[in-house]
Structure 1
């Protein structure tokens, strides 16, 4: 571009200045060194840079005006024209001249943007001439580029971070993840390392790269199972199960499974049971899978949740102890019920049954508690018994239990003991009577000694009538009285046998015999008494007298007088 064209294109110079420039530029009018020196510049987007520049002119001149310009498309003319930077639509103080009027033409650009990239020209005006650089200064605008390798990684794998500057100048950078400083550019990925990474110029952290996402894949963790309602599930109601987990990639709904007591129930993230029954009670867990393993494990389980289905009393039974009640004995009726929660209230109802009436009596309250005790059953206790059990869910009655009793011997233990003692005494008495009878029979079988008179051994004097009147011991009377002659003969025979028997006993066994005298009065008081000299046969008007002789060895001898 010639000086003339520049003069006409720039409207900031006066006509006199243009004439002066033309004259100076004409060969031979003036001579000197004119020039502008600068180089290309690479700047990072967002930084503030200084475009170094210097200019020169002949001595004897003084600079009166300087300026930077760059080509700009003029919509009115449809051509590219040079416009001073102050006339361009830029933010205030975006371009700042930091040079002087004596050879330094540095230009500082604040917050470099992509639109700032291009060619820049410098021109200056002296008292006699003006000059514009013939070649432009080239500004290249680059951005920081963050690179994460690999961008998708499994948990536990290595990750490296690289920041590409774009400009040849070496610049220190730092790394951030979601605004938090990252200390190491190389690390082993954890699930919490996932996020958005960018690099920035150290000291100018606002100069940063675009964010790059690090995707850390990991197996399902924090697998949870929730139940609604969480507690108080009542028989017949509905319950819903829902599975959830923290996983990358997320677990699809069909990759969840529900198990009860180790048995598969259904597949899916949710499961609903309508009309819950006690059989649904148990331990439930959720299992999740997303095709990523953790330490060789692919399937991850939640913690187990116990489902406790509550229901009212059922299967109520009544037991009777003892089975056969006796009037006056103790009877316990026990009520058992299956319920969840356990039954906490028991009531007993009694209905008397009258055999004489065809219809039973009304049902009356009999007591409360799980065990109904009848200390001593009576006839009024007989009949039908019903137990009603209740918990927080509901209540239910048992089937009727019939209580009957016998009116015979009481089966209580004291009566059994009395009966046993009575039997023992009876047996003992029978044995004693048999022994006594045996001894009596043995005594009667021994030979008896008869004498014609009464007296003491060694004495020959007959007994007197007064002696007959004395009663000494052991008297036996017969129910009948034999003739006196017959009695005398028997007495003589017995006396002989007795004498012979005493003669046969050893002398050492002999013992003194003590006789007792007994007088038997005749039934007829007018009957004359018998004398010792009477030998005539007489009717047994008096009772026969039996004298028992007892020796020291216990042998018995009888004497009939």
Structure 2
């Protein structure tokens, strides 16, 4: 009789348990910091009951006691959670902008017109932060690089970004343009990326060139400044200047200076020739193209002045002569020409005057 009574009570308890229930679609979630997660949930109760209130709780230790604390009273969850369920059977919850402190156990509770029920089981959420790393962090052009993205979540598909642009291969041979800031993300959630990590690619000097502060044709005694430019990482720290004489048939070079700037305060004919700059850093070195400087003798200032005066005289003298001839009085010869006589002779072109002839009586 007692055994029968126990069986009946157990059957009744099972029926009650089946009627009052909370079921979680998944009890273990792993999400990335900054992302969102939805707890899929459903609940049941007797048909003659009606739901008046629902709530989600988080399990927390307070003064050494494990308690369930309603999310709505926790300041850190303000405006970060939304109940997507209803007062019928759906009890789903969405948590947004996840933080590492959100890791923990979550419970559902609902209240009917007669009873309040807590879920016996819970949902466990693990919030992990994506951590990008590069091996090695500093390389020279041509070295192998490996990108790694650490996360506690199981086997998510990771994608990489360099300066905001997608990187197709997590392993590659470094080129100069590969330098930049790299971050990783889960493919399904590209907007949530890890903190960036920098890749520094070293390379020897490139595009070495020489700038001259004035024309390459110089007068003896003038000054000239040559400046060496290059692109390098790290920046070039050694500059060497080489010179080949314009007057020598030999192709031999002489070292004529060091430093990024070569300053020749007073050039001479012997400075005529080609100049080359060599830039060097800890990775390697490169040379510029040849720059030709031509130096000419200086013309003496008195010679320049004398030539200038002669030129002026030659230009002005004809004008002065013409002006003077117009201003001087006319000579007697000119006057006679105007009167029709030349050197005491009558001008044959004029008619002679007829005088009367007197006859004696």
Report the TM-score, using the length of structure 1 for normalisation. Answer: 0.45
1:177 matched to which residue of 2? 162
- Determine whether 1:160 maps to 2:146: yes
Tell me which structure has the larger Cα radius of gyration.
Answer: 1
Task: Classify 1:283/1:79 alpha carbon distance in 2 versus 1 (closer, same or farther; 3 Å).
Answer: farther
Structure with greater strand share of residues: 2
Deviations 1:86-108 (A, max 9, x none): 33335775211122334432211
Contact 2:216–2:292 (8 Å) recurs in 1: no
Q: Distance between the aligned counterparts of 2:33 and 2:117, measured in 1?
A: 31
Describe the superposition over 1:483-520 as per-residue Cα deviations: whole angstroms up to 9, x where unpaired: xxxxxxxxxxxxxxxxxxxxxxxxxxxxxxxxxxxxxx
What is residue 336 of structure 2 aligned with on the other side? none
Partner residue of 1:515?
none
Deviation at 1:231, TM superposition (A): 4.8
Q: After TM superposition, list the pairs within 5 Å mapping 1:166-205 onto structure 2.
A: 166-168=152-154, 170-205=155-190
In structure 2, runs of 5+ residues without a counterpart are 1-11, 245-252, 315-361
1:117 has 2:103 as partner: yes
1:283 is aligned, of 274, 290, 315, to 274
SS in 1 for 2:298: strand
Counterpart for residue 258 of structure 1: 241
What is the RMSD of the two structures over their aligned residues, measured on CA atoms?
3.6
Of residues 90, 104, 108, the one that matches 1:104 is: 90
Instruction: Choose between structure 1 and 2 for higher RCO, CA contacts under 8 A separated by at least 6 residues.
Output: 2
TM-score when scaled to structure 2? Answer: 0.67
Q: How does 1:425-444 map to 2 (within 5 A)?
A: none
CA offset at residue 127 of structure 1?
1.1
Label 1:238 to 1:64 Cα distance change in 2 as closer, same or farther (>3 A): same
The structure 1 residue matched to 2:227, chosen from 226, 238, 242, is 242
- Matches for 1:144-155 after TM superposition, within 5 Å: 144-155=130-141
Which residue of the partner structure matches residue 217 of structure 1?
A: 202
Offset of 1:51 from its aligned partner?
Answer: 1.7
CA displacement 1:512-558 (0-9 Å, x = unmatched): xxxxxxxxxxxxxxxxxxxxxxxxxxxxxxxxxxxxxxxxxxxxxxx
3-state SS of paired residue (2:198): strand
Following superposition, the deviation at residue 286 of structure 1 comes to 1.0
Please give the per-residue CA displacement for 1:166-209, whole angstroms capped at 9, x wherever unaligned.
311x4333322112222333332211111112222335321212
Aligned partners of 1:182 and 1:226: how far apart in 2?
A: 38
Q: Could you tell me which runs of 5 or more consecutive residues in structure 1 were left unpaired when the two chains were aligned.
A: 1-27, 293-297, 315-342, 350-363, 369-561
Alignment of 1:317-336 (within 5 A): none
Q: 2:289 aligns with which of 303, 308, 311?
A: 303
Counterpart of 2:57 in 1: which secondary structure?
strand
CA distance 1:307–1:78, change in 2 (3 Å):
farther
Candidates 118, 124, 131, aligned match of 1:138: 124
Alignment length, in residue pairs?
A: 286
Aligned to 1:65: 53
Which one of the candidate residues 214, 225, 247 is aligned to 1:229? 214
Q: 1:238 to 1:345 in 2, by over 3 A?
A: closer
Secondary structure of the 1:313 match is: coil
